[in-house]
Structure 1
Amino acid sequence: MERHLRSRIAGLRPGDAVESDSELSALFNVSRMTVRQAAQRLADEGLIYRVPGVGTFVAEPKVHRDIARLRSFTEEMTRRGAVASSRVLVVEIRTGQPAELAALHLAPRAKVTHVRRLRLADGKPVAIENVVLPISCAAVLNHDLEHGSLHDALREIGEIPTGATGTLIAANAGQDDAELLGVQPAAALLVEERLILNQNGQPLENTQTRYAGGEFVFHIALSR
């Protein structure tokens, strides 16, 4: 039955209705509890959504991201079959803020390279990315940061993103977030902060990315 639903969903558009619980129960000769459990698994994956008393509908496709691997936004979207692009909001050389300088192990009032972009998946705004790099990486500003990958630009200047530490927290959208991402003010966001290291183990990139909460599914592998 779950395979049937997955196949049906693949051929439908977002917002289209799928069979009701009673129809699926009769079609596969299973209990409505079994139907609800299968539907809940698909809802948990972001494939469908259920409206009590109305029905079950195909959800807007979500962007899946594996946060257990160090991949750029462009790499992750390419793996998922989406086209990544950006709208560049800020490119500048400026004095670093104290928290940025501390993270990158730079001296007080050191200059940094700052890039802020609106990230798009298949043309749809899904995240706001704020990147701070040492001034030694300023050459990346000469690259195409609207259609190209920042990590590719870093590799071209001899800085290879190799490892990272990070956090993922929930937040509410501010007015600027809402306007850029096309969500309501105070809507749920997921905020990822990463400190990326280069091939020598030195801090390379201090990044905050604010994701539209309803657009992303994050995956992580755990072991004990």
Structure 2
Amino acid sequence: MSESFAPRYHQIEQSLRARISSLPAHALLPSEAALCEEFSVSRMTVRAAMQRLEADDLVYRQPGRGTFVAEAQPHRQVSRLRGFSAEMRRRGLEPSSRVLTAHVRPATDDERADLRLRARAEVVELRRIRVASGQPIADEHTVLPADMAPVLDADLAGGSLHEQLRALGRTATSGTCNIRAEAADRTTARELGLRTGSPVLVEERLILDQDGVPLERTATRYAADRYALEASFTVEPPAPVRRGRRQPS
């Protein structure tokens, strides 16, 4: 999307993202009224831009006080579903991709089962190297139902796949993931600039849309020294000790 044809709120959002990346955490941002005057737009337009920044955890609001720069989070929360592009922008980095594969092909048995597809169904296969400010971060392999094929005409190198899916009426909403470690094979190592056999963090996701229908099956291999996942947890209380009767001696 060129800057001249981008929605006005998007232009304001990108300008504020650049500004936020150079500000310390908890810095006060200009008020909505001040931003309206600065960009010569309505309050509704400014509010749309600020809502997108808040959704990406770049800012937080305090009623009666204003909007502030959020503290940067170094790792992604496992419990949060956030696209790579949005996550890298939240960190002040510029996301992009190198597209290795983008085509329609017959689905495998496992893909048909996970995506709940009919027999002999086809899928959209995407393989992209995800890059942040010039540094390769992940080798991402994504499979989508064949009716999502219009994404193949989109900007898969500079754009967000999830934004394209939303434009097609499918919003990534929830899902499950499995996380493990493995040694990088020759292809992943070459694309990420690693030695073959270097450790990579593997995240396998099955993502559902707003109606609970399987939308995306993705396996992402992250360079272990460039990415981390963070999880919150509660400690399970110990099971009660059952005391048996003492046996007579």
| Aligned Cα root-mean-square deviation (Å) | 1.4
Specify the alignment match of 2:92 in structure 1: 81
Specify the alignment match of 2:195 in structure 1: 184
Greater relative CO (CA pairs within 8 A, separation 6+): 1
Choose the corresponding residue for 1:70, options 81, 96, 110.
Answer: 81
Identity %: 44
Specify the alignment match of 1:11 in structure 2: none
* Structure 1 residues without counterparts, runs of 5 or longer: 1-62
Which string of whole-angstrom CA distances, capped at 9 and with x for unpartnered residues, describes residues 128-159 of structure 1?
11000001111111110100000000000100
Specify the alignment match of 2:147 in structure 1: 136
Which string of whole-angstrom CA distances, capped at 9 and with x for unpartnered residues, describes residues 94-114 of structure 1?
001111111101123210011
Within a 5 Å distance, the mapping from 1:1-224 to structure 2 comes to: 64-224=75-235
What amino acid does structure 2 have at the position aligned with 1:116? Answer: R
What amino acid does structure 1 have at the position aligned with 2:209? Answer: N
Task: State TM-score, norm by structure 1.
Answer: 0.70
In the TM superposition, residue 66 of structure 1 has moved relative to its aligned partner by 2.0
* Structure 2 residues without counterparts, runs of 5 or longer: 1-73, 236-249
In the TM superposition, residue 65 of structure 1 has moved relative to its aligned partner by 2.0
What amino acid does structure 1 have at the position aligned with 2:80? Answer: R
Determine if contact 1:64/1:80 at 8 Å carries over to the other structure: no
Aligned residues: 163
Which structure carries more strand by proportion? Answer: 1
